[in-house]
Structure 1
């Protein structure tokens, strides 16, 4: 027995040694469970899932800007050999994130909140730092490739989430949280990389304060920059100190900030939710482009993306998804849906929903032998497939067989409420966009907002958008951001 134990220990040590790799940034040995080739392949496989979930923001000039700056920074990074890709995705959430192997994404929400190129460059360097230091690979190794559903924990229980497309590996990677040491290292790399391409890295610290104010003011989910991150005040001081050190080291006497040039880049950008992609109002979802609407159960949370509209109660016991299903007929679409979700139909019927042809299907998720032995609860679904304007719309309600009767009427009310959107005010709803205004006379920011007829309840929001306080005095000739339809 002792002999076998010693052999097992030796094998474990060899396995651990073989799982180590030299960190490109620190030069130290890290425990990782994949090679660089596997890391690159993982990012390449995950990129389509990210784009399907968020969509690419349609602005060629802005996409070119992030690519040019990203490639310049990647060239002086610790891993210039990687084939980097940089993209602005169509999401109002204020965030930026990176996937293993060189994939970096900025939301239009965070692009709207930068107030100069130096802030942008600092955060860009921070995200590249996560890649060069292999933070995602390390975290994924520690998590042993654990999968995380996109909104599991917000509105869905883990058992229900298994039917959601959002539980893919690519999107799961976005939810690997970095520890404080990783974030400090990425801050340091962000300062280093942005300084090396000529920017004033101290501006990144100012942007962290903008993020903190936005989160405190809205009560929204904490961006990646702030979750499990160092104390904001300590972080602010540390980044300023590191920026000063790099300026001295590089003799950077004329570090770039480029406020006006950056603001002109984002003029006209969609700000906040884009109603053309669907919006929620008065417990109903409206889609002006596809011209349909349906009610949302009272008290349910929701999330909209180009791929799926999801909604669910806070207790996580159920979920409803709206998706498109390919198929020449409703019957063909039904077969594809059942196969795709591994469902066994219990009963179905042809019907109409507000004059539109439809199929109503109750189906259970098929269980394998192991699930049956473990006596796991059966997942039961109610789906209405509705034919409208050449598309097959699938409204699927998901819960356990035990809870199905409790949610049946709720599911039905939403699905049978699907109808053609005719209201002109909903069909013509336009997004807000960033508008630039050059201050004509030195005043406080709040006075300028009053002169520009900004509603009082939105003044703090726009102050944060500009990285300023309402009491700040703004000089004549200063360019600021406003929003307008």
Structure 2
């Protein structure tokens, strides 16, 4: 199953979970996590934190139960998975490039007889994964982040390594063994406490097992990359770009605590090991990056969220599918996920959540707020009134570490939940009321005028980074996003005549 299908943070106490499950509401993006746990090697470019360690050999314990009938995905599985990521992206030049790169990599892999099929997914998230039957998947968000053919080849080589090393089957066997042992102890031996302890221990073992698989696939991928004639240092470059885009998404001060159960090693660890593996092949400068062809292929590739899923334009979040819009609160960076819009300030001191919730028949707005909130609500904070002519209910929740303001508003036949949290005792009421008051229906004319954004390849022609960044149609921080998108540092001068990526309508 594509684990961590989205990478937004959580708003404490409101039930928006990191694995993309609905926070009591209707999905905003169609990417849904499917029941393919035994088939998909998930989210191989997902970033976590961790320390540097040498990759370990991955072996299935001899006593692990054997799995039958779960090794191959059906066409139905494939179609469901593609649909969950928004369908296939319509970018023939990119798909051809990915296919040709894959064919070149396979010829130098440990299993040159294996057949692979590459699918480009119409999703803005940066993600890639593989099925054991040779189906490879990459999102357009991942392709847009790469800067040359060798970087995309590095990702595909990593996924091919997962297939050749039989990682999906190995993980499935270990999962079944762990579940079997804990169940036998709890049920057969009538020792539920020990069974629960073993189950908890198995979570750590599986997490370590997954991290070891990722490191093993990184090392094997670099070897295949170099053998195919691509720049072996491209793997470290792309992982560095991934780390920068994750940091840009998180914002200063909002980095999460390292997760001991993270299924992926930290990016710094992976960069170090990928660089070490590349140096065993040779010094920087060997192999080809095929940058010109890559940039020509991605010129015009769709970038970012589709207006049907919600976009930020001119300080407003507009969702053409729902026909609504609201002003982005000052100082907030938004993350549009499958199930909700999440937001945080740069210092992490305030957070927000916006989603759609379903009412039971006859249920009032105040009852809806109570039903969709896990923590206690302050009785004095309840209020029902109209907001711009629309019925609304308000509530207040004070936790140990956060103060929450909540609202449920009925607009255009749907009910939306809006939550803003302030850290500590800081009550975000003023900003919250302004945000709630900005929610409105969007006219058909404004929806029709929304245009999706795409990658445009331009030449520097004497322009500096700031000038090209001003041409970017992005939600915020255009210079930072231009630099990350092009793998540049602030001190790096643009090369006249050299091509660069910008985001335009």
- Is the contact between residue 210 and residue 464 of structure 1 (CA under 8 Å) also seen in structure 2? yes
More deviation, 28-37/82-91: 28-37
- Is the contact between residue 412 and residue 441 of structure 2 (CA under 8 Å) also seen in structure 1? no
- Is the contact between residue 311 and residue 321 of structure 1 (CA under 8 Å) also seen in structure 2? no
2:162 equivalent in structure 1: 130
**Structure 1 57/458 Cα, relative in aligned 2: closer, same or farther at 3 Å?**
same
Residue 476 of structure 1: how far off its partner (Å): 2.2
Q: 2: distance between equivalents of 1:118 and 1:401?
A: 48
Partner of 1:474, secondary structure, is coil
1:416 to 2:413 alignment:
yes
2:146 equivalent in structure 1: 114
1:236 to 2:271 alignment:
yes
- Is the contact between residue 119 and residue 136 of structure 2 (CA under 8 Å) also seen in structure 1? yes
1:467 equivalent in structure 2: 487
- Is the contact between residue 89 and residue 105 of structure 1 (CA under 8 Å) also seen in structure 2? yes
1:431 equivalent in structure 2: 452
- Is the contact between residue 313 and residue 319 of structure 1 (CA under 8 Å) also seen in structure 2? no
Q: 1: distance between equivalents of 2:91 and 2:240?
A: 28
1:362 equivalent in structure 2: 361
More deviation, 459-468/29-38: 29-38
Partner of 1:482, secondary structure, is strand
1:78 equivalent in structure 2: 110
Partner of 1:50, secondary structure, is helix
CA offsets, 1:287-317, max 9 Å, x none? 2xx6844889x99x98666xxx6679999x9
**Structure 1 177/216 Cα, relative in aligned 2: closer, same or farther at 3 Å?**
farther
Number of aligned positions between the proteins: 355
Q: Report the TM-score, using the length of structure 2 for normalisation.
A: 0.56
Q: 1: distance between equivalents of 2:178 and 2:146?
A: 33
Q: 2: distance between equivalents of 1:80 and 1:62?
A: 23
**Structure 1 402/187 Cα, relative in aligned 2: closer, same or farther at 3 Å?**
closer
**Structure 1 27/79 Cα, relative in aligned 2: closer, same or farther at 3 Å?**
farther
Residue 207 of structure 1: how far off its partner (Å): 1.4
**Structure 1 415/311 Cα, relative in aligned 2: closer, same or farther at 3 Å?**
farther
CA offsets, 1:410-433, max 9 Å, x none? 767156258985342332111221
Structure 1, gaps ≥5 residues long: 1-24, 148-174, 323-359, 364-379, 383-396
2:500 equivalent in structure 1: 480
- Is the contact between residue 33 and residue 141 of structure 1 (CA under 8 Å) also seen in structure 2? yes
2:129 equivalent in structure 1: 97
Q: 2: distance between equivalents of 1:311 and 1:108?
A: 21
Partner of 1:86, secondary structure, is strand
Residue 44 of structure 1: how far off its partner (Å): 4.7
1:271 equivalent in structure 2: 303
Q: 1: distance between equivalents of 2:233 and 2:295?
A: 19
Q: 2: distance between equivalents of 1:413 and 1:454?
A: 31
**Structure 1 136/321 Cα, relative in aligned 2: closer, same or farther at 3 Å?**
farther
Q: What RMSD over aligned residues (CA atoms) do the two structures have, in Å?
A: 5.0
2:319 equivalent in structure 1: 286
Residue 275 of structure 1: how far off its partner (Å): 1.1
2:199 equivalent in structure 1: none
Higher helix share: 1
Q: 2: distance between equivalents of 1:40 and 1:71?
A: 21
Residue 131 of structure 1: how far off its partner (Å): 2.1
1:446 equivalent in structure 2: 465
> Mapping of 1:223-372 within 5 angstroms?
228-246=263-281, 255-279=287-311, 286-287=319-320, 292-293=323-324, 320=356, 362=361
- Is the contact between residue 243 and residue 267 of structure 2 (CA under 8 Å) also seen in structure 1? yes
Partner of 1:437, secondary structure, is strand
Q: 2: distance between equivalents of 1:319 and 1:452?
A: 31
- Is the contact between residue 276 and residue 431 of structure 1 (CA under 8 Å) also seen in structure 2? no
Partner of 1:275, secondary structure, is coil
CA offsets, 1:47-93, max 9 Å, x none? 22221111211112212222232233234433445443211111111
1:46 to 2:77 alignment:
yes
Partner of 2:71, secondary structure, is helix
Residue 217 of structure 1: how far off its partner (Å): 1.9
Residue 434 of structure 1: how far off its partner (Å): 1.1
- Is the contact between residue 58 and residue 209 of structure 2 (CA under 8 Å) also seen in structure 1? no
- Is the contact between residue 160 and residue 221 of structure 2 (CA under 8 Å) also seen in structure 1? yes
Residue 122 of structure 1: how far off its partner (Å): 0.7
1:195 equivalent in structure 2: 226
2:389 equivalent in structure 1: none
1:206 equivalent in structure 2: 237
- Is the contact between residue 105 and residue 157 of structure 2 (CA under 8 Å) also seen in structure 1? yes
- Is the contact between residue 118 and residue 258 of structure 1 (CA under 8 Å) also seen in structure 2? yes
Residue 183 of structure 1: how far off its partner (Å): 1.6
**Structure 1 478/180 Cα, relative in aligned 2: closer, same or farther at 3 Å?**
same
**Structure 1 258/398 Cα, relative in aligned 2: closer, same or farther at 3 Å?**
farther
Q: 1: distance between equivalents of 2:444 and 2:208?
A: 43
